[in-house]
Structure 1
């Protein structure tokens, strides 16, 4: 799994949500081509990183079985009641033993194989603390994808304080730091499956 040592990156699959738009099912364990969505993400993220984490607040045994295939660890939010992706990121910033955490949601099975490299290049060029993805349309309109991000683990204390203050919005926390939005042109790489109907449609293609 390990790549060049200078990457110093831990991958994080965010699978800790309620799955409310899927009727409360555990989104990362729903099947696409007979495999859990989270497994598709793990497969694409792991070659870009030095270590892997899965953020999950339920179905721990199921995620542990997936994790074993990638020598990954399963972590749970330290905050109760599914407070959102920042809680999973906060736990990962503490759990990681690398300089960076590279995040992707469990419902995006086509993660760009160059996500980490592209975000790291932009982060270094801008001297930033956070780099996150945005897709660009033909008219140059950008759509932000803030949970596809590369984040310095040195921000752990600040994020813990942000969450302790009751804040939950990802982009609002990014705005506290030097964050760079990085353009990508492959929209498919950031396609996320919000409900069971979308999943069924994708499976039929």
Structure 2
């Protein structure tokens, strides 16, 4: 990762959701092998970007402590009703003066070391506005990962208007702009944990036997 590329990029860890499928728990603060998921995600991208933001809407003091080693800032949604990942992305777009924003979900702790470089290369080559990751599953089906993406920060006003109109779907907003998918071979690098069961599976994948209650 070159200094020139890092100078163009801010990283954003999305940890501001309701955690509905985790019973309302704050997903980013759930532990994987003893570390909060959001911390693991931040570590994965910290060396790939110039600075790190964490989108959070609860337990702000805890996230500030988590972010301190990265000199990261916490950004909160403008709305208090948990409108979804696009609201967190908008907060990130508004919080940086850099050209590009790399956004990743907090529950994907093994993202590739070349994630930012490959997404930016594809964005530049296609002169696109958004580049997002995809993989192929065991059945041979393409699996998009729309919130693992690099986008131009000049999209902030358009996204704000989109949200003000009541729209929420990430892929539908991308379709308003020139977007490209970037295929990654290692599906395991994009494994995530939407539920406590999936978090236990990730623990096993990381070689840690989940604790029994």
8 A contact 1:3–1:50 mirrored in 2: no
Corresponding residue for residue 50 of structure 1? 50
8 A contact 2:13–2:55 mirrored in 1: yes
Corresponding residue for residue 141 of structure 2? 141
**Which whole-Å CA distance do the structure 2 matches of 1:111 and 1:129 have between them?**
22
CA offset digits 1:21-65 (Å, max 9, x no partner): 001010010001111011110111110000110000001011001
**Which whole-Å CA distance do the structure 2 matches of 1:202 and 1:182 have between them?**
24
Kindly state the Cα deviation for residue 149 of structure 1 after the two structures are TM-superposed.
0.2
Kindly state the Cα deviation for residue 175 of structure 1 after the two structures are TM-superposed.
0.1
**Which whole-Å CA distance do the structure 1 matches of 2:117 and 2:2 have between them?**
11
Structure 1 gap ranges (5+) = none
RMSD of aligned alpha carbons: 1.4
Kindly state the Cα deviation for residue 74 of structure 1 after the two structures are TM-superposed.
0.2
8 A contact 2:192–2:202 mirrored in 1: no
Matches within 5 A, 1:186-201: 186-201=186-201
Corresponding residue for residue 19 of structure 1? 19
Structure 2 gap ranges (5+) = 208-213
Corresponding residue for residue 125 of structure 1? 125
Question: What stretches of structure 1 move > 6 A for 4+ residues in a row?
Answer: none
Kindly state the Cα deviation for residue 80 of structure 1 after the two structures are TM-superposed.
2.1
Change beyond 3 A, Cα 1:22–1:93 = same
Corresponding residue for residue 95 of structure 1? 95
Q: How many residues align?
A: 204
Matches within 5 A, 1:45-194: 45-137=45-137, 141-194=141-194
Kindly state the Cα deviation for residue 111 of structure 1 after the two structures are TM-superposed.
1.1
Kindly state the Cα deviation for residue 141 of structure 1 after the two structures are TM-superposed.
2.8
**Which whole-Å CA distance do the structure 2 matches of 1:73 and 1:138 have between them?**
38
Kindly state the Cα deviation for residue 142 of structure 1 after the two structures are TM-superposed.
1.1
